[in-house]
Amino acid sequence: MVDEWALYRQGVRSVLSGLGVVVVDDVAGTPDALLRLWSAGPELLVAGSPAQGSVADLVTRAKQAQPALAVLALLPAAEVGQLRPVLAAGADSVLTRTAGPGELEDAVRRLATGERVLTAAAVLTGMRQDDAPSGLAESTASLLTTKEREVLWLLAQDKSNRQIAADLVVSEATVKSHLGRLYDKLEVPGRREAVRRAMELGLLT
């Protein structure tokens, strides 16, 4: 766990310990975090707001040091503009710093099964900080049907196929069909890559 505020680290550590997660250390800054990554080899990094540098820089350097490391980023409100850079750096999951214990517990459990967790709060807050979509984004967006854009938006809220089907009042088979075409148009292999690609292109603005 990395965060500049000791009290915040203590709170996150308490939630993780309650899940049975062995927390090898909690540190304030990126240099200490990288040292502990090297010495302890943890499976998960919870990246809050480091005392030195940005969350995106911490994630980038952590992934370079340990590519298989799972990263859950907790973005403060003042840094939501880093949502895309943090995802591009390799974060597997992103919550806002205001997430409650229940949200953090759920994210850790799902991350442990290989799921990507990108909360609607993180997406919505990050979207308000973004610039207008690029020409490439507009070109890609023009290829997406209305239903495909709706599916993409629900994917960004980390909804399952069943939940998407219920929201759109269609069958799960129809959702799978939309997802297949969406992946082809975004040139990605799956759900998490689709959301990351969409964020990079500004399609969720």
Fold match between 6-129 and 135-201? no
| Mean pLDDT of the 48-57 span | 88
| Mean pLDDT of the 196-203 span | 77
Model confidence at 34, in pLDDT bands (50, 70, 90)? very high
Q: Where are the domains of the chain?
A: 6-129, 135-201
| Mean pLDDT of the 165-172 span | 85
pLDDT in tens, 93-106: 888 887 889 889 98
Q: Indicate if the pLDDT at residue 187 is higher than 90.
A: no
Higher pLDDT, 195 or 1: 1
Contact call for residues 101 and 74 (beta carbons, < 8 A): no
Query: CATH assignment of 135-201?
Result: 1.10.10.10
Taking CB atoms within 8 Å and a gap of at least 24, the contacts of 11-19 are 12/46, 12/48, 12/74, 12/104, 15/101, 15/104, 15/105, 16/46, 16/104, 16/108, 18/105, 19/105, 19/108, 19/109
Which CATH entry fits the domain spanning 6-129: 3.20.20.70, 3.30.70.330, 3.40.50.2300, 3.90.226.10? Answer: 3.40.50.2300
Model confidence at 77, in pLDDT bands (50, 70, 90)? low
Most confident of 7-21, 66-80, 162-176: 7-21
> Is the pTM higher than 0.85?
no
One-letter amino acid of 51: A
Task: Report the chain's mean pLDDT, rounded to a whole number.
Answer: 83
